[in-house]
Amino acid sequence: MFKVNYQSRVPVYKQLYESVLRMVSLGVLKPNDKLPTVRALATDLGINPNTVSKAYSMLEHDGYIYSTAGKGSFIAESFSEDTATRLTALRTLKTAVKSSMLSGVTKEDALSAVEDIYNGGDADDRV
């Protein structure tokens, strides 16, 4: 269900964090669904339980899941598929903006690109 890339520079706990967000945005996980226990997921992935615990703590801190001792961790009620999708989309967008900036795209061009799209312009239009 969850996968981590050990060769990646991205910390494992962060990969787990984002995996949960992705699961919700894809509709695989829904509000009040139960997440695997820390130990189960740790042994399943062959990683340290501390790492899983760290990811869950961050998710709880950010209000995306809630945990109750003895029962487990669950997707927060407020964390619907829609909000998850919008959230991940916004993050992807930021990454795209950043890489375009690093490629020499000026701020004006970037802003007008956004305007263009939201005003009905087609992404495939010649620039």
| Interface contacts to a second copy, rule CB under 8 A | 6-7, 9, 18, 21-22, 24-27, 58, 61-62, 66-68, 71, 74, 77, 79-80, 82, 85-107, 109-111, 113-118, 121, 123, 126-127
| 71 touches DNA by CB under 7 A | yes
Tokens of 2: 């969850």
Size of the site for DNA (CB under 7 A): 27
Residue 78 interacts with which of a second copy, DNA, none, CB < 5 to 8 Å by class: none
Site map 12..51 versus DNA, x via CB under 7 A: xxx--------------------x-xxxx------xxxxx
Cα–Cα dist 98/42, whole Å: 33
The one-character DSSP state at 91 is H
| 57 touches DNA by CB under 7 A | yes
Q: Which long-range contacts (CB under 8 A, 24 or more apart) does 69-78 make?
A: 72/34, 72/35, 72/37, 73/34, 73/35, 73/37, 73/38, 74/32, 74/33, 74/34, 74/35, 75/20, 75/24, 75/29, 75/30, 75/31, 75/32, 75/33, 75/35, 76/31, 77/31, 77/32, 78/31
Residue 19 interacts with which of DNA, a second copy, none, CB < 5 to 8 Å by class: none
Residues of the shown chain interacting with DNA in the complex, contacts defined by CB under 7 A: 9, 11-14, 35, 37-40, 47-51, 53-54, 56-57, 60, 67-73
